[in-house]
Structure formats: structure tokens, C-alpha cells
Structure 1
Amino acid sequence: MATTSAFKWPWQYDFPPFFTIQKSLNTKDKQLEAWARLVIDYAQHNKIYSLDIAEATTSELFNNQKLNRRLSTDGVNTVLQYLEQKKLIEFTDNGRTRFHIFWRRPDVWANMIYQWAVENAFLNTPLTLYEITHGDDTTNESFHNLEREILMKALSCLEEQRRAQLMNIGGDNEGVKFV
């Protein structure tokens, strides 16, 4: 998991009770909202698209070393359940050990990618998935280095809207044509 000192932690992160899930339903709901915002903001700042629960549990996200406080494994699971209910994460395996973080929903990524294709005259031009996420034409785009699974979800949204056609160009080369 990427770490950066430039991330601005919310005030709650320096408040020791934040690292203990509260029992009062009203307080707990506000606390989970704050945790959700923190997870999404942290992931967006560090361009994290997916996480392993074991990795997340030991990361600075759930561990404040300055306070010597960490959210328990049960607490992390409670936060993840909340994020899943809000459709901000999606587990990628049956064991629920890895999940995608949607700091932008796939339909939002889809619109950004399609807008880029229109602005750069790529309509009706086959492009590889690599060109979209790693190509020279996308280095200044927010979807540059987007994880493949998230890209595929975004392109599936465009395909459902009949604004893109997914293609198998041969071998490992998958592509898309924007229409």
C-alpha cells in the first residue's frame, strides 16, 4: 500500500476513541461515515483501487502510530461492511479477503474515459486496454494507471450504454472501440 506524508488526515484520526467502534447507534453511524470518508479519501489520494484486508488492517489507514491506536480486526470488518452497503467497495473473492475501492464509481470512470475518447478523436478507432491506462495519450488523465478490473467495469458500463464495443484483438490484447 502506498504511503505518503502529503495526505491530510481528518481530525478524527487523532482522536483516540475513533479507533474503537462506538456502541451508541447514533454515534456509531457518524463514526462509520467518518471512517468511510477517510478510506475513500485515502484511497483516492494514494490512487489505491483495491486492497487486501490483511494489508489494510496493518496499514497506516487503520493504525495511528502517533497515538499507538489501531482499529481492531472486527472494527475494520464493520467499516468494510458499511462501505459495502454504501456500494463504495466490492469484494473480489468468495473468501472476502480482497476488495475494490470505488473512490470513483465505474460509471463515473466510464464517462471520463468516453469524454477523453471523444475529445481526442478516438471514436470508431480500436484501442488496446493498455493504451487507455498506460499509453502516452493518457499520462495526464486521472484514469492513467487505472487497475484493469476497474477499467473493465467502466467499459462494461459504456458497452451497456452502446457507447463502446469490447474486442478481443488476439492473445492477451483486449481492446475497445468507442462509438
Structure 2
Amino acid sequence: MASAFPPVYSFPPLYTPQPNALIREQQVSTWIDIILQYCKSKDSWCMTFEGSVIDLSTLMIEIATQGIPKERESIFKNNDIQRAVPQSFMEEIWKKLVSDGKAISTDIKTKNSRTFYIFWKNVDSWASLILQWFETTTKLNQVVTVYELTQGDESIGWEFYGMPEPMMIHCLKPLLARNRATLMKDEMGKVVAIKVV
């Protein structure tokens, strides 16, 4: 797994919280970069608190069948150098990821973990890309389902293809704020479609 990471991933002090505030800040920033780059390279949208990339549909099946989630490889553990990030330091890294808007907690709770949506780009960049999709596909002023936007044939090849629906809705917020988009909900209040003008 270490070959998928930058050389600093094999630097043992990266795994131990450093006491100097400036070094610690850089250390957290390095971990954030590693997480974002890794998720982007794997086309993964979700990660557990422990640093395991997950597929939401697989996780939902495990939860629904009350199966024990299988042991997954963790980004915070490097077996090549026998190092692992302590849980308290993981908490600090996740707190910074969330406060910087690079991750949001999912509503999915497993028995032993929390899960997060990971934003490889900032939300404004995703919103711009989504707007570009609407312009390119000539879908402006048309109602498009969230499924069509995230899983449809016309979205294949776009970076947001396969993005979980709750994450997509979060990425639409800048368009909503600029009055460029309107969300349509079903009778249960779930967002099912969007119209971009």
C-alpha cells in the first residue's frame, strides 16, 4: 500500500504527534493531503474514522445484514515501517478535515466506527464543475434527477460520476446560494432532482 503514497508516508515521525505547534500543524496538513490524494486516486468518496476507504453500498449491506464489517486496510497504518497513528491524533486530523470543509460526516454509523465523505476538491470547485456539466449537456432550465447527475450515462467521464447523492446535494449549495439552482423534493422531503438556470 505504501507505494501509492508520497515518500513522506514512510517517514516514521509522521505517525507521532509532534509537540511543536508549527510542526504539528504541518504534520496535520500533510495527513490531509495524503488522504485527499489517496481518495482521488482510488475514486473513493468515503473513508472510515480509522482511515479505511469504503464503498458505501458494501457497507450498507454489511449493516443491514448485521454482518461484522470486514477488516480493511487503513491509511493511518504503515506495516512497512511498523507505524500507526494514535486514535487521539486521528481525531485531530479528522477535526481539521471537517473544519476545512474537506470532509463531512455521513449519517451512517457502524458498530465501531464513523464514516466521512471526502471532498478532493473544495465545494465551490465541485459546484463549478456541475454547472459546466449542465451547460455542456444542454440541460440548463431542465429538471435532472440526482441519480441522473451522479450515475447517468451523460455523467460518465465527469469527475463527479459515482458521487454519493448526499455529497452531491452538499456540492450544490453554492449554486443554490447564487440562485442558479432549485432542488425538488419527493413527498418524504428527500431531494430527488435539480434544475439549474
Q: Alpha carbons of 1:20 and 1:6: their partners in 2 closer, same or farther (altered >3 Å)?
A: closer
Moved more, 164-173 or 106-115: 164-173
Of 17, 35, 39, the residue aligned with 1:39 is 35
CA distance in 1, matches of 2:161, 2:9: 30
Report the 3-state secondary structure (helix = DSSP H, G, I; strand = E; otherwise coil) of the residue aligned with 2:121: coil
Shift of 1:85: 3.2
- Stretches of structure 1 lacking an aligned partner (at least 5 in a row): none
Q: 1:53 to 1:134 in 2, by over 3 A?
A: same
User: Match for 2:151 among 101, 109, 134?
Assistant: 134
Partner of 2:49: 53
1:175 corresponds to: 193
Q: CA deviation at 1:37?
A: 0.9
Q: Say whether the 8 Å CA contact 1:106–1:150 is kept in structure 2.
A: no
TM-score, normalization by structure 1: 0.84
Against the structure 1 CA distance between its residues 17 and 55, is the aligned structure 2 distance closer, same or farther, given a 3 Å change threshold? closer
Equivalent residues in 2 for 1:56-135, closer than 5 Å: 56=52, 59-92=73-106, 97-135=114-152
Letter in 2 for 1:150: M
Letter in 1 for 2:41: H
Q: Give the Å deviation of 1:6.
A: 7.1
Cα offset, 1:173, TM superposition = 7.8
**Mapped contact 2:46–2:118 kept (Cα < 8 A):** yes
Q: Identity over aligned residues, as a percent?
A: 25
Match of 2:65 in 1: none
User: How far apart, in 1, do the equivalents of 2:21 and 2:193 lie?
Assistant: 48
Deviating above 4 A after TM superposition, structure 1's stretches of 4 or more consecutive aligned residues are 169-173
Q: Cα offset for 1:5?
A: 8.0
The alignment covers a number of residue pairs equal to 175
In structure 2, how many angstroms separate the alpha carbons of the residues matched to 1:141 and 1:69? 36
Deviation, 1:31, is: 1.2
Contact 2:51 2:75 in 1 (8 A): no
C-alpha displacement of 1:50: 2.6
Change (3 A) 1:102 1:64: same
